Amino acid sequence: MPSRKERGFTLVELMVVIVLIGLLAGVVSVGVFGVLKKGRITAAQGQIKEIEKAIALYKMETGRYPDDLNQLLEPVGVLDEGLMTEIPTDPWGNEYIYDPSGGTKRRYIIISMGEDGAEGTDDDVTNEYTPGETNQQE
């Protein structure tokens, strides 16, 4: 009979350790995914602000808003190059929606469709509102 020092772990002890590791991994992953989601929203807000700056410069140079975001890539006024080198995709890989006649607070609206990729849902990020705010346009 092997002595107490030579015995391994029992099946029950191994199962308890595996369950504890699984619980810890679940708690940590929920926190990490929450931070990642907030980070993507913040990144989308930052990209929208950069697009807004380019639109403001476009309006200063031409006296009007662009018809679509691709006009920000073309030379404007005295500039030999576009106001942006590329139109970014949102953090979820979708193209931004630009509506030059939309919006309630502004003359135009820029929309990221958010995680679900569908326009008009609660996770949309726009220059009008942020997910979680109550002033979403209908």
Task: Read off the pLDDT of residues 75-86 as tens digits, 9 standing for 90 and up.
Answer: 987 778 889 999
Examine residue 12 and state whether it is found in any structural domain, yes or no.
Answer: no
pTM comes to 0.71
Task: For residue 57, give every residue at least 6 positions away whose Cβ sits within 8 Å of its Cβ, in sequence order, or none.
Answer: 76, 83
Q: What is the pLDDT of residues 14-67, one digit of tens each?
A: 999 999 999 998 888 877 778 888 999 999 999 999 999 999 999 998 888 999
The enclosing domain of 71 has a CATH number of 3.30.700.10
Helix or strand run (H / E) with residue 15: helix 11-62
Is the confidence at residue 11, as pLDDT, over 60?
yes
Burial 66-85 (b: 16+ CB within 10 A, else e): beebebbbeebeeeeebbbe
For residue 41, is it within any domain? yes
Question: Does residue 131 belong to any structural domain of this protein?
Answer: no
Q: What is the pLDDT of residue 136?
A: 41
Beta-ladder partners of 88: none
Q: How far apart are CA 104 and CA 42, in angstroms?
A: 22
In-domain check, residue 87:
yes
Q: How many domains does the chain have?
A: 1
Domain that holds residue 47: 17-126
Got the DSSP string for 21-32?
HHHHHHHHHHHH
Residue with tokens 């950069």: 50
What's the pLDDT tens digit per position in 67-125? Answer: 999 999 999 877 788 899 999 999 999 999 999 887 666 678 999 999 898 888 888 99
Q: Percent of the chain at pLDDT above 90?
A: 48
